[in-house]
Amino acid sequence: MPVPDFQTVMLPVLRLADGGEVRAADAVDRISDESHLTPDERAELLPSGRQAKIANRVHWAVTYLVKAGLLSRPRRGVFAITERGRKVLANPPARIDINFLSQFDGFDEFRTKPPEDPEDIESEPSTEPTATLAAGTPDERIEAAFNDLNATLRAELLDRVQTMHPTAFEKLIIDLMLGMAPMRLPFVAPMSNNGLCGDWLCEVSCAMQGSDLDQLIDELEHLVTSSFSPLEGRMVEHRYDLISGSMIYDWRPAWDKANAIQELFKTVRYPTKAERDRAWVRFNDIRNDLSRRANADRAKFREVSQSWRDKVVEDLRPLRYVFVPILSDIDPTTVDEMKELGRLLKEARNLLHEKRSVMLREHKDECYALAEEIKQSHDRFWEQYHKSRETRRLAHVQAMREKAEKIEGNLQRNREKREKAVGALERVEANISKNEDMLASAYSDNYRERVEGWLADSIEKRDSILESIRRFDEWIAQDEDRLSELRSKIFARE
């Protein structure tokens, strides 16, 4: 099916947001899936060839819904539904389009002032013609689309400029002045540490006068001489002392101002060469002072960073696990000792993490590398320990299995012996019965005595067999209990 237009995807986009925050990239994929787009349709580009058509239309749908108050952008690249959007979904229309959105406050104003370019995507509203554009001539459509793009660019630039850091804004103004000469544009003099001051905005020529540049030099001098670095003039009494707060002053605003002034010297004209030379010498003196202060800061910061590097390395080095199998087959290190080394390693790494903001990258990298090396040595111990433990477990299980097999053999033999004893008992019982019959029918005293002897021997033999059967039963019961216990242990250790 063809790629849906941006008004068609408005309702599906709103429904996606009802489940929570949604990433714009995820929304494109999910709308593509719901629309059953083929790979070729998903890859279809705008006429400019810079962006997928479905991505462009989903982003524009999000922008229109945001302007109507149905969606919000909690952060870059993410949108979420608003309370107004939930009310719309509670009784959803068959379709959400521009005519539907016109009922909400602020949307008509947005329509007269074209929308922002959503999330830095390529904006081509001409690919999504509104009702007004669709009714115009080709020339009117082209002109309206051109106006939309220009207005969108203006809105985006305005938003970015309004959120810029004051120092970056100052640099932007100076770069703009240099790039637009000899045109006229608003210029600020003087500049403050808080950024540009609107009360000083005035129309001046881009070809600045020497007095204007002198004011900028005065501003730079004030910025350099009135600034105090937390490390400047401070002695570290102990190499592990912590200096709280910002460890090094941010001299970048001063350097940005100095670089801008240096560029302005290329275009600003002084009444006389002597005045320009004096200004240049003064500017260089200030810049040298700035360099001295910044270098002193870096040196002191390196001193503090080095002290914390030494502290962390001193804590880490004794924690390395070393075992040389050549010297001994038995590792003397115990599990409790390794647990203590692991605890100390964790403390050292926590200290490194805590002090990373006051350390140079080279010192941090060295400490992190050493900590990782020691951790790997600990991992080797635990790997060997678990292997050894597994070997012992398997050996113990094998020993229990062999013992179980031995008990099973004894059990089988005792059962066989008991069966033989039971057979012998049956034969003896039959013999006793026979002797008792013979005794009852004895025809002489001599014969009677002989039968009584045979009967006594049979009874004695029966008693012996019964005792043997009792012992076999006892042994069988003991072996069965031992075998059951062993099997439970083997099952638990496997």
Tens digit of each residue's pLDDT (9 = 90 or more) over 25-43: 899 999 999 988 998 888 8
The DSSP output letter for 204 is: E
| Residue 364 resides in a domain | no
* Confidence bin at 335 (pLDDT 50/70/90): confident
Q: What is the mean pLDDT of residues 252-267?
A: 90
Domain identity same for 207 and 224: yes
- Which strand ranges, in their side-by-side order, compose the sheet holding 71-75? 22-23, 78-81, 71-75
Domain identity same for 203 and 76: no
Domain identity same for 49 and 20: yes
- Give the range with max mean pLDDT: 70-79, 204-213, 232-241: 70-79
Return mean pLDDT, the chain.
Answer: 80
Q: Is the pTM of this model over 0.75?
A: no
pLDDT at 417 over 90: yes
pLDDT at 109 over 80: no
* pLDDT given for residue 8 in this prediction: 92
pLDDT at 329 over 90: no
Contact between 68 and 107 (Cβ < 8 Å): yes
Which of 285, 318, 351 terminates a domain? The answer is 318
Domain identity same for 73 and 97: yes
More confident residue, 298 or 89: 89
| Residue 214 resides in a domain | yes
| Residue 34 resides in a domain | yes
% of the chain exceeding 90 in pLDDT: 43
Contact between 244 and 275 (Cβ < 8 Å): no
| Residue 30 resides in a domain | yes
Range of the domain at 156: 10-162
* pLDDT given for residue 465 in this prediction: 93
| Residue 486 resides in a domain | yes
* Confidence bin at 420 (pLDDT 50/70/90): very high
Domain identity same for 222 and 261: yes
* Confidence bin at 19 (pLDDT 50/70/90): confident
| Residue 86 resides in a domain | yes
More confident residue, 443 or 84: 84
Q: What is the mean pLDDT of residues 349-364?
A: 91
Residues 184-223 have pLDDT tens digits of: 334 444 444 444 443 333 333 345 788 888 999 999 888 8
Helical residues (DSSP H) of 163-227, grouped into ranges = 166-180, 210-225
Which of 271, 286, 318 terminates a domain? The answer is 318
Domain identity same for 228 and 196: yes
% of the chain exceeding 70 in pLDDT: 77
Closest to 256 in 3D by CA, of 175, 187, 360, 177: 175
* pLDDT given for residue 477 in this prediction: 94
Domain identity same for 97 and 14: yes
* Confidence bin at 177 (pLDDT 50/70/90): low
More confident residue, 236 or 193: 193
Domain identity same for 202 and 114: no
Handedness of CA 279, 285, 291, 297 (dihedral sign): negative
Residues 361-401 have pLDDT tens digits of: 999 999 999 999 999 999 988 988 888 888 888 999 999 99
| Residue 61 resides in a domain | yes
Domain identity same for 181 and 77: no
* pLDDT given for residue 116 in this prediction: 46
pLDDT at 242 over 70: no
Burial pattern 431-446, b for ≥16 Cβ within 10 A else e, equals: bbeebeebeeeeeeee
Q: Is 99 exposed, middle or buried (0-12, 13-18, 19+ CB in 10 A)?
A: exposed
Q: What is the mean pLDDT of residues 216-235?
A: 69
Which of 299, 318, 337 terminates a domain? The answer is 318
Measured between alpha carbons, how far is 199 from 166 in angstroms, rounded to an integer? 15
* pLDDT given for residue 43 in this prediction: 87
Residues 111-165 have pLDDT tens digits of: 765 444 444 444 444 444 444 444 333 444 565 667 667 776 777 677 677 777 6
Measured between alpha carbons, how far is 107 from 102 in angstroms, rounded to an integer? 6
Residues 263-295 have pLDDT tens digits of: 999 888 898 999 999 999 999 999 999 898 888
Domain identity same for 147 and 242: no
* pLDDT given for residue 191 in this prediction: 45
Domain identity same for 157 and 14: yes
- What's the number of domains the chain is made of? 3
- Give the distance from CA 467 to its chain's centroid: 75
Domain identity same for 23 and 156: yes
Q: What are phi and psi of 49, to 5 degrees?
A: 75, 15
| Residue 383 resides in a domain | no
